[in-house]
Structure formats: structure tokens, C-alpha cells
Amino acid sequence: MMTDSMIRLETLIQSDKAKQRLVQEMLALQGDYSVKIRFCSAIETFDAAIDPNEREALAQTIIQTFLAHGCLFYISSLSDARYNAIVVQNNYNQLLDAKREVLQELSQVPEVMQIVNYVETLD
């Protein structure tokens, strides 16, 4: 279930201008948070794609960028079950749940929500 904080964070990620500001502010706080924002944004792009070939390509890019062991922007906080469903079983529909996992994680960090409050005032 999406909490109010998760929805607020997701809304900012969906706006290019707000997302850029969010990433900038998160970089100053902790680079890992900005990577997670970009991960969520990539999944938004995947979710918006209609063409099956495009969705496949986007999913593979997300895996290679954020989920493959040893990649530069590795997201280590996903549950093992979610990781296996996406990476091993190629169940790309699980990407949306992975995004929710990351949003939930971020929304529970007080410093992240302070940045969300700040960026919301700029928009």
C-alpha cells in the first residue's frame, strides 16, 4: 500500500524539474538516495512504455544499470524474492513493486522527507 509520503515522493519523481532538484539535494545528503530516485524514475519510464520490445529493452537497461551485481549504481536494498523475480525469472512486472519497495524505504528517512518538503515548495 502506498503511503502519503510515498505518493508525494512519487509525484516529484514524475516531474522532470522536481526530479532534477530532488536528485541534486539528495546528492548532497547521500548519493545512494539519488541513485534510488533515478531507479524509480527509470521504472516510471518503463511503466509508461506500451510497445513490448521497448518495455523489454527498458527492463534490461534497468537491470544492467541498477540490479546487476557489480554495476555502478547497484540497488542492494531490494528483497531477495523481488530481485530473483526480476533478474532471474525476467518477471518485469515486478519492477513496479520494486519501485514501491524503494519508495517505502526512502519515505521512512526523515532527511529525505525534509528534502521532499523543500522541493514541493519550489514547484
What pLDDT, in 10s, does the model give residues 52-97? Answer: 999 999 999 999 999 998 898 999 899 999 999 999 999 999 999 9
50 or 122: whose pLDDT is higher? Answer: 50
> Measuring CA to CA, which residue among 118, 77, 48, 70 is closest to residue 59?
48
Find the domain containing 99 and state its range. Answer: 4-122
Q: What is the CATH number of the domain that holds 37?
A: 1.10.167.10
Report pTM: 0.87
Backbone φ and ψ for 108, nearest 5 degrees, come out as -95, 0
Q: In this structure, which amino acid lies at residue 121?
A: T
Backbone φ and ψ for 51, nearest 5 degrees, come out as -65, 125
pLDDT band (50, 70, 90) for residue 22: confident
Domain count, the chain: 1
